[in-house]
Amino acid sequence: MDIFLKTIGSINDETRLKILHFIDVNGEVCVCDIENSFEMIQSRISRHLKILKDGGFLKVDRRGRWAYYSIRTPLDQFRQSILKEISCLDINIPLLNKGCKVE
Amino acid sequence: MDIFLKTIGSINDETRLKILHFIDVNGEVCVCDIENSFEMIQSRISRHLKILKDGGFLKVDRRGRWAYYSIRTPLDQFRQSILKEISCLDINIPLLNKGCKVE
DNA sequence: TTTATATATCAAGATATATTGATGTATATA
DNA sequence: TATATACATCAATATATCTTGATATATAAA
């Protein structure tokens, strides 16, 4: 029950739906890419990514000074059905706008 | 998006998960049955039923002085998958305890 | 037509969640 | 070792949601 509520709670927010769909569409991205694409402050992005990760939708891979977020694999049937439903919602997401100042 | 968030928001609450599962298990019940089974005050039950109805999970049929709630039919695939996931959660629900004082 | 039952809704307070700005930590480069 | 970049977390405030008790409405029986 607690895990279910954490999963459901993680997608019960417009900002997180957009970020989740953005990652679903663009694949692996780092935090500053999202920050730059959405024009939101970094702490806000970081918090929502943590909630989506704790909700079981995202995984994070830290390489160098970056944290790369992507859809968790393998993803169970239930979360897959949620992602599919979200992909049908016609959500308005920004274009990927790389935000990293170094490579 | 708004409909999706209303759907998700409606199941983002422990009390509503229990009520929804209770109706899924017991079939059509009236408000005072739920009130009596869960030992919660009526306004609280009524409010959660409305949210679950607005979330697309329940329908209501008013007959006489009673309002009978049941799982909405037909139920789309997405909500069906949610109900199925909830049914696997091993949620502790009370036994049906009829609360109507008249017949 | 008065009263009891069943249900819905409102207002107030309690609780939870989101946003922001500040700060902390880690990595890499100068 | 000093500085910039990338990210996470905290504290304060704002906003949303939940619970309760009071009240309103509708139905049916006395």
| CATH number of residue B11's parent domain | 1.10.10.10
Q: Which among B12, B90, B91 is the nearest to A9, CB-wise?
A: B12
Interface residues on A facing B, Cβ-Cβ cutoff 8 A: 1, 4-5, 8-9, 11-14, 17, 77-78, 81, 85-86, 89-91
A37 CB burial (10 A radius; 0-12, 13-18, 19+):
buried
SS3 A19: helix
Q: With bands split at pLDDT 50, 70 and 90, how would you rate the model's confidence at B91? A: very high
Cβ contacts (< 8 Å) between A1 and chain B: which residues?
14, 17, 89-91
CA pair distance B11, B21, nearest whole angstrom: 11
Q: How many domains does chain B have?
A: 1
CA distances from B32 to A8, B28, B36, B102 (A): 28, 12, 6, 11
Phi-psi region of B39 (alpha: psi -120 to 50; beta: other; left: phi over 0): left
pLDDT value at position B101? 82
pLDDT value at position B102? 80
CA pair distance B50, B60, nearest whole angstrom: 9
Is residue B37 situated within a structural domain? yes
Is residue A47 situated within a structural domain? yes
Residue A16, both tokens: 């997180």
pLDDT value at position A103? 72
Is residue A95 situated within a structural domain? no
Q: With bands split at pLDDT 50, 70 and 90, how would you rate the model's confidence at A41? A: very high
Cβ contacts (< 8 Å) between B91 and chain A: which residues?
1
Q: With bands split at pLDDT 50, 70 and 90, how would you rate the model's confidence at A101? A: confident
Q: Which domain holds residue A79?
A: 2-87
**pLDDT, tens only, B4-42:** 999 999 999 999 999 999 999 999 999 999 999 999 999
Query: Higher-confidence residue: A19 or B99?
Result: A19
Q: Give the nucleotide nearest to B12 (CA→C1').
A: D17
pLDDT value at position A99? 81
Is residue B99 situated within a structural domain? no
